[in-house]
Structure 1
Amino acid sequence: MGKREDHKAATRRDIQLATLDLLETAGIETTTVARIAERAGISERTFFRYYDSKESAAVPGQSELLDALLSRELQPSLSPAEILRELIDACREQFAYEVEQVEFKRISRLLLHEPRLLQAVSRQEIHLVNVLSGALAERGLLPRMQAQIVAELITCTWRIAWQCFALEETAGRASNPAELFEQAVSSLAEVTAPAAFSA
């Protein structure tokens, strides 16, 4: 990473930390973009170069996941199952990156207590599915319906792993998000096995 990319990553992280700090202490209603910008030591204009809302600053995972999925090299000769597997691998890599960031526990706790954050995540998921399925279809990798199914499966697997982590944490049980992601992937493989669809 060059100096410019390092600076961007640091600014992005400063904004997210400031957002999480304010959400934890003041709640979502009282937290404003102006307060986040002030706490992060930036202007509101700079805030909007990185995030489109306070909710997306608090929960940036889907936009980063979408970038990782869209940048994955996929050959037109791949079968739908191979495309799904490639995208699961991209998802796995992004998931591992997120787990390295210590803030995922804070985000999970906030999601349980802030319904507006859950709504923002749901909107981000819909956007992810629409953009990813559109890209897969437009690149001629999959027919429109298969592209939609693959995008939904990716998003669902991601969401379920994080939801299971939040539930385990709430119950006071230690858990490993990466292991939960692998369990979600294994469950997906079992559920979508060809035998499940035979008449």
Structure 2
Amino acid sequence: MGIRDDRKAATRGEIQRATLDLLETAGFEATTVARIAEQAGISERTFFRYFDSKESAAMPGQGELVQALLTHPLHPALTSAQVLRELIEVCRKHFAYEVQQYEFLRISRLVLREPGLLQGVARQELQLVSALSGSLVERNILGQMPALLVAELIACTWRVAWQCFAQESADGGCDPAALFDKAVTNLGEIVSPAAGSPAPVQLA
């Protein structure tokens, strides 16, 4: 990473910390982009060079997850289940990265405390589903319906892992990576065919 990239990363980190500080002290509604910019010592214009909303500033890993999913190479011959399995693995790696890079515990506590932030997360998920399903169709990986189903399952698994982590960390802590694997295992059990049907697809 060069000096310019280091500066960008530092600025992103300052914006996120300012956002979380304000969310914790002022609450979701009172936290505005203008206040975040002032707290971080930047202009609103600079804020929007890095993030498109206060929600994305609070949880920058979600935008990076979308990019990781959209740029992951997939072979057109893969089945829907295989595509889902590969993209789940992308999520698993990104989840572990997020734990190391971002204010994971602070974010998880705010998600529990601030319904507005959770609504913002839901809006970001809609964007994830739209972008990912559209990409899968455009690249001729999947048809429209399986592409939507795969994208929805990805978004759902990511959200459930986050929400369970938030709850369990509030109750005394847990291993985020293990929790994500548990969410994937539970998903595999839920979508497995009934007894007597062909063998279920293993997601984990």
| TM-score bucket (shorter structure) | over 0.9
- Are 2:18 and 1:18 equivalent residues in the alignment? yes
- 1 CA distance for matches of 2:74 and 2:102? 31
Is there any run of 5+ residues in structure 2 with no aligned partner, and where? 198-204
**Which residue pairs with 2:183 in the alignment?**
184
In structure 2, do the counterparts of structure 1 residues 24 and 131 end up closer, same or farther at CA, with 3 Å as the change threshold? same
Secondary structure, counterpart of 1:194 in structure 2: coil
Shift of the alpha carbon at 1:81?
1.5
Identity %, equivalent residues: 65
Structure 1 length normalisation: TM-score? 0.93
Shift of the alpha carbon at 1:196?
6.4
Is there any run of 5+ residues in structure 1 with no aligned partner, and where? none
In structure 2, do the counterparts of structure 1 residues 174 and 142 end up closer, same or farther at CA, with 3 Å as the change threshold? same
**Which residue pairs with 2:194 in the alignment?**
195
Cα deviation code 1:148-177 (max 9, x no counterpart): 01001111111111111111123x232111
Secondary structure, counterpart of 1:30 in structure 2: coil
**Which residue pairs with 1:66 in the alignment?**
66
- 2 CA distance for matches of 1:167 and 1:2? 38
Runs of 4+ in 1 over 4 A off after TM superposition: none
- 2 CA distance for matches of 1:159 and 1:28? 19
**Which residue pairs with 1:175 in the alignment?**
174
- 2 CA distance for matches of 1:142 and 1:51? 30
- Equivalenced residues, count: 198
- Are 2:35 and 1:55 equivalent residues in the alignment? no
**Which residue pairs with 2:4 in the alignment?**
4
Structure 2 length normalisation: TM-score? 0.91
In structure 2, do the counterparts of structure 1 residues 128 and 32 end up closer, same or farther at CA, with 3 Å as the change threshold? same
Shift of the alpha carbon at 1:86?
1.0
Secondary structure, counterpart of 1:42 in structure 2: coil
In structure 2, do the counterparts of structure 1 residues 151 and 31 end up closer, same or farther at CA, with 3 Å as the change threshold? same
